[in-house]
Structure 1
Amino acid sequence: MPPLLTIVLEEPGTVDRETDMYRRLVAARLRFDSEFAIQQSQEPLTTQVIARLCQEIGSTYIVFMKTSHQLSANYVSSMITYLRNRTVYLAEPVIYTGTLPKNVARNELKDPYHYARDTDVYGPAFNTRRLADALQAIGDVDRSALYLSYRLYWSIGNVRPLPTGFSVASDTKAAIGLQLSEEALRLVPLIPAVSKPLRLYVLRFLVLFLRGMRVQKATAVGLAHLRELVVNYQLVELLGMVEPLQPFEAAWVRWLEDPGADKHLYKQLSREDIYLLFETGQAYGNQDLLLYELLFGEDIVRIGKSYLPRSLRPGHARPGSYNFYERPIGPKSGILFFDRPMQADDNAEHLYDYFRSAHPEYTEAWFALNPKSPDWERLEAKGFKLVPIFSPEFYENFLVSDLVVSSQIYNVRYRGKSFANSRFVYLQHGIQLNDMTDWLLSKYFDVFIATGQFEADYMGKLAPVETLNSGLPRMETLAREEHQPSHLLFMPTWRFNLHQASTEQFLQSRYFGAIEGLLKDPALLRFLEETDRRLEVKLHPNVEKRSGLFTFSERVVQSTLSYREAIRGAEMVFTDYSSAVLDAAFIRVPIAYYHWDRAEFFRDQPYEGRLDYEEEGLGPVFSDHTGVIDHIVKERFALQDPMYEARRRRFFHGVDPERINQKIVERMLAL
């Protein structure tokens, strides 16, 4: 007799049996062994593969999962208990994108839940026969649209989730979007639906598709189908869910509904406004900047950016009704600075320190930070005017401030005010070495701080009015402080494809193997001992929770220093791809690159590289373990190389180490 439920695990290799998810599935067999089965699919779950599985599997219900997903301890029991005595088309848990909460609150599922909910096939239990029947009609949609198309096809307007949770453990789709299979000819079927959750799901799916199109560039899905979706499901009415985090796509959806309205107000500036312009056809219109040229079936869509006088804006239309630019910045202005909530010592702190010294007449300049941050007491002792970040006081300060200055971009919105309609100076945390075009064009800023000609030239093609080639404030501090070398410094960055890796998968990754091999290298350890040196290893924040897996020792230590302290005290700094080493290069500390996975690094990242490290890098590049160890133990890093010095000057051209803060302040006070 076939089981009631089959759980299909999408896993191309050996199933990792140490994951919490797999162990919970196996444990459930003690109670429900005869009622559910686990089946592995080593091929990706495309629409066609799922259609075949529905024909092959004899269970009444089918669920799709990956071993990297998370599920509540009672997931299987809740499903089996619910399905055992009834016949339904669909049963689903509460779906999350982040970490599963301890208590699943199914009664509090409001519009934000439905819009943010992952709409892929993973997690819900489908009626196997009904899914097979539906696939005969909706088999031309991408797998990522099957859940939504299934509900539309069978008119399943509202679903009350079971009191158990499932998480895909990642919300990367919100950042990089969806790229559909070449076979997909439409997003979802055009079947009338009045259910608001279903319309929100359609909206999210469309937005993620449009976001992915900025990368994919071409699709077989036609423009007419997209317009029918927007009109049929009345999606413009729901755009309030989209604009806070995906403003670019919100403007796009508005244009799809009304192609005649080709100019869309995007961001207010001091002297003009930024508009997104949409056009179709072969002719190229009069746009300041052409951002994208995309192909939808046989239709060409061009998206551009124009700077138009503020006088052209009708009234004070979107994105806000109050003119937050009306009052000029002056000594009575409120100015709000912040870095990360739990960590200062970045560009905002260093600029704030300079600003309060150079302009003491600005008495309402505040620095926001979490009171639990280890930096709170230090900044309080320095005399910083502190406000708890994201507290009621913070938001009130934000509302009345004339300017916000930060090294981070957060979605700060309060009582009609946001960065779309108010002044914001983005100091950055790093330097744009990679092609982050899609991410940057989705963000609001009045000023973007660039560091040198390499970055300024890139940003000038995206935001020529907003870009300021001044350098980062923390670099002026580094250049001013005394440099006393006391250690070597290794700063590996992160790998996007390890976000959902289990401990076993992480230990088997090339990333762990390369770093661990270096930390334990006998020649390196011997060199450090003989020369009385120490190697400080500054792990990426995403790796901190796994730091116990690495082999540290007396001479190779996990660094607890701040980035500035670690770089200031370094005799040499090396990394794989982190832009943080450029701070060291700026103050002429030798740097090097260890690219152990150069062949696949950018293939697994959500961006493409722009810097040719071999031809433009500010230090030597090594692709193998032996090369980088040899460079260190033979102290070749101590030899000055005129080629790298010449590259350094070209890279940082335009940056005056003594006037970084002054240049930024002059620009921000003139907004």
Structure 2
Amino acid sequence: MYFGNIPAKPENTALDNKYFFARDTDIYGVAFNTARLIDLLDAVSNIDKSAIYLSYRLYWSLPRIKPLSIGYSVASNIKAVNGAVLDDSAERLLPILQSNSPELRTYILRFLTVYLRGLRTNEHTRIPVKHLTEIVQKFRLERLTSLLGPMQQFETAWIQWLSNPIESEVLFKQLTDADAYLRFDVTQDPSEKDYLYSIETESGYLTIQRVYRPHQRRPQYDNPAVYDFYSRPITSESTIIFYDRPLQADDNAEYLYEYFMTNQPEFEKCYFALHPKSTDWQRLEQKGFKLVPFFSKKFYELFLESDVVISSQIYNLSYKGKNLKNSRSIYLQHGIQLNDMSDWINSKHFDVFVATGKPEEDYIRTCAPIETLNSGLPRLETLHRKESTERNILFMPTWRFNLNTVTDQQFMESEYFRCINQIMTDDRIVGYLADNSITMQVKLHPNISTRTHLFNFSTNVVNCDLSYREAISSSEFALTDFSSVVLDAAFIDIPIAYYQWDASVFFQEQPYENRINYETDGLGPVFYRSDEIIEYIADGQYDRNSTIYAERKSSFFEGVEKNQINETIFKKMLEL
């Protein structure tokens, strides 16, 4: 949010389409000639307020004006992820007026993309589909969809359909046995139940379905000039790229890579991508990993020749015509889907999506029925409870999306900081830790690592610099708010608990919805008040066995064979 001067363009930044696409479009303030603005509002009614700036420039046919010097934006990270919710009175996005300005067309693409993203959540709009088609066709937005990143691949397909709605199916992802398409239909009676989305409009329903079609349906399938990255089988001669985060390993890709080194040594062209400045670089180098700098020229050259990418994160890889849409990838996940991430799943490209347990498998199959594999996470296979003379309990709170851009002072004034710091500094807990020679290891989420210095650590409450694996395996109890990472502890029979001080509002400010009931399905007790969780810890109640959570664990991890996780993924890879 800007008050006063809008930040200037960074030096050495090209004024190209990528720059314009990244700028907010709902800009307010001292922006333009007020007399002309009044004329615009008289002439252009029933548009969304956040489109006034775009509409103004379109209406007066201004091909280019300088960026605003004063103003503010009401855009946010949450809006960029969850999409825009329009005014109830809005019946069109903006006027359909001719403009050849690349800058304006790029702004319009961004505005439309955020609106379409919001439709997937709201599933209701007064904007006619015909109007959306006119916008895409008039401004030739399908030619600009290369600007859309990995989070907008669903919207990319949507815009492609709007550019030519006669063709109801749009290729979304090439696969081994059949390709995945998105099917768009305008209907009066959405009676089928297997839609990804059924959006109510003023003229009926727009339904979107995931369907699988033979390869021969693929555009340019028989064109010899278009290389088929599936034409080569995956063998021991294949080049394979593994990666976790650019600056951090110690996740599922690392552990699956280790499995290859130990059990499949004939695969000699396996590479692990990581930034050279990562603290994990030297550690993996000593292990014998073949490391390649993440996003370097060598990385992209290896990506081009690789037969499969295996990762715990999904990034927008594209190089010389190859991307994750037209080549193989196995998504190992970072955690387990406790929340409703279906919108996120629907927007991603993958050939295999690893699930952990039948409940998660059933959930993911509603989005990707062919691609889902219930193998379990690779890191779980070699995870064991560590016997030690030192006693530790582990506190791993997740993050809050709305705190990304606040100042340190605002962060310290948040309920999030106050509730975490209270657990760390409570006299009863600190006394219990000291009396029993127990250390509370606090593992903050990577997204708030820069705020670590703000918390009040002490002799028995320390900032955890161990890997997740080491921290979990050496703990006798693990506490979180909503993070799925504590399920690793539950998997090896370490008791867990949840402290959800903001349960009533947590999902209102996150880019996802709740999927499970923690009280009835969670693998540990749930607390909402500080006095309850403080008493639970300070009295050592967490160390008491509970048969109900043991039974839930058995159901939760159903179908996962602990000693065969990596082998199951390996066999699936060979089938791609």
Q: Does 1:606 align with 2:511?
A: yes
Contact preservation (8 Å) 1:476, 1:660: yes
Match of residue 277 from structure 1: 183
Superposition deviation, residue 339 in structure 1: 0.8
Whole-Å Cα distance in 2 between the matches of residues 290 and 232 of structure 1?
A: 29
Superposition deviation, residue 183 in structure 1: 1.4
Output one character per residue of 1:498-542: Cα deviation in whole Å (capped at 9) or x when no partner.
222223322221111111111110111111111111111111122
Output one character per residue of 1:446-491: Cα deviation in whole Å (capped at 9) or x when no partner.
0001011121110011111111111101111213x64446301111
Match of residue 325 from structure 2: 420
1:217 to 113, 123, 134: 123
* DSSP 3-state at the match of 1:367: strand
Match of residue 238 from structure 1: 144
Whole-Å Cα distance in 1 between the matches of residues 366 and 261 of structure 2?
A: 33
Match of residue 52 from structure 2: 146
Superposition deviation, residue 135 in structure 1: 2.5
Contact preservation (8 Å) 2:392, 2:438: yes
1:358 to 263, 269, 285: 263
1:120 to 23, 26, 39: 26
1:530 to 429, 435, 439: 435
Superposition deviation, residue 157 in structure 1: 1.6
Whole-Å Cα distance in 2 between the matches of residues 360 and 70 of structure 1?
A: 59
Aligned length: 574
Superposition pairs for residues 36-51 of structure 1, below 5 Å? none
Superposition pairs for residues 438-477 of structure 1, below 5 Å? 438-477=343-382
Matched letter for residue 425 of structure 1: I
Q: Does 1:514 align with 2:412?
A: no
Matched letter for residue 657 of structure 1: K
Matched letter for residue 116 of structure 1: A
Superposition pairs for residues 11-26 of structure 1, below 5 Å? none
The unaligned stretches of length 5 or more in structure 2 are none
Whole-Å Cα distance in 2 between the matches of residues 466 and 134 of structure 1?
A: 50
Match of residue 50 from structure 1: none
The unaligned stretches of length 5 or more in structure 1 are 1-65, 76-91, 96-100
Contact preservation (8 Å) 1:94, 1:165: no
Query: Structure 2 vs 1, CA of residues 635 and 445 (structure 1 numbering), >3 Å: closer, same or farther?
Result: same
Matched letter for residue 440 of structure 1: I
Question: Percent of aligned positions with the same letter in both sequences?
Answer: 49
Superposition pairs for residues 36-435 of structure 1, below 5 Å? 66=1, 69=2, 75=5, 94=8, 101=10, 103=11, 105=12, 108-122=14-28, 125-161=31-67, 170-242=76-148, 245-283=151-189, 289-316=194-221, 321-435=226-340
Contact preservation (8 Å) 2:249, 2:274: yes
Query: Structure 2 vs 1, CA of residues 358 and 123 (structure 1 numbering), >3 Å: closer, same or farther?
Result: farther
Matched letter for residue 145 of structure 1: A
TM-score normalised by length of structure 1: 0.82
Query: Structure 2 vs 1, CA of residues 181 and 588 (structure 1 numbering), >3 Å: closer, same or farther?
Result: same
Superposition deviation, residue 248 in structure 1: 1.4
Higher relative contact order (CA 8 A, sep 6+): 2
Superposition deviation, residue 238 in structure 1: 2.4
Query: Structure 2 vs 1, CA of residues 400 and 624 (structure 1 numbering), >3 Å: closer, same or farther?
Result: same
Output one character per residue of 1:30-83: Cα deviation in whole Å (capped at 9) or x when no partner.
xxxxxxxxxxxxxxxxxxxxxxxxxxxxxxxxxxxx4xx487xxx4xxxxxxxx
Whole-Å Cα distance in 1 between the matches of residues 362 and 208 of structure 2?
A: 21
* DSSP 3-state at the match of 1:275: strand
Superposition deviation, residue 201 in structure 1: 1.3
Whole-Å Cα distance in 1 between the matches of residues 30 and 358 of structure 2?
A: 51
Match of residue 56 from structure 1: none
Whole-Å Cα distance in 2 between the matches of residues 387 and 191 of structure 1?
A: 49
| CA root-mean-square deviation | 2.3
Matched letter for residue 514 of structure 1: C
Whole-Å Cα distance in 1 between the matches of residues 222 and 131 of structure 2?
A: 29
Query: Structure 2 vs 1, CA of residues 336 and 123 (structure 1 numbering), >3 Å: closer, same or farther?
Result: farther
1:661 to 535, 560, 566: 566
Whole-Å Cα distance in 2 between the matches of residues 653 and 435 of structure 1?
A: 20
More moved, 118-127 vs 430-439: 118-127
Superposition deviation, residue 143 in structure 1: 2.3
Contact preservation (8 Å) 1:354, 1:661: yes
Query: Structure 2 vs 1, CA of residues 344 and 457 (structure 1 numbering), >3 Å: closer, same or farther?
Result: same
Superposition pairs for residues 580-619 of structure 1, below 5 Å? 580-619=485-524
Whole-Å Cα distance in 1 between the matches of residues 279 and 461 of structure 2?
A: 25
More moved, 455-464 vs 117-126: 117-126
Output one character per residue of 1:379-407: Cα deviation in whole Å (capped at 9) or x when no partner.
11111111111111111110001011000
Whole-Å Cα distance in 1 between the matches of residues 395 and 219 of structure 2?
A: 54
Whole-Å Cα distance in 2 between the matches of residues 280 and 163 of structure 1?
A: 43
Match of residue 647 from structure 1: 552
Matched letter for residue 515 of structure 2: R
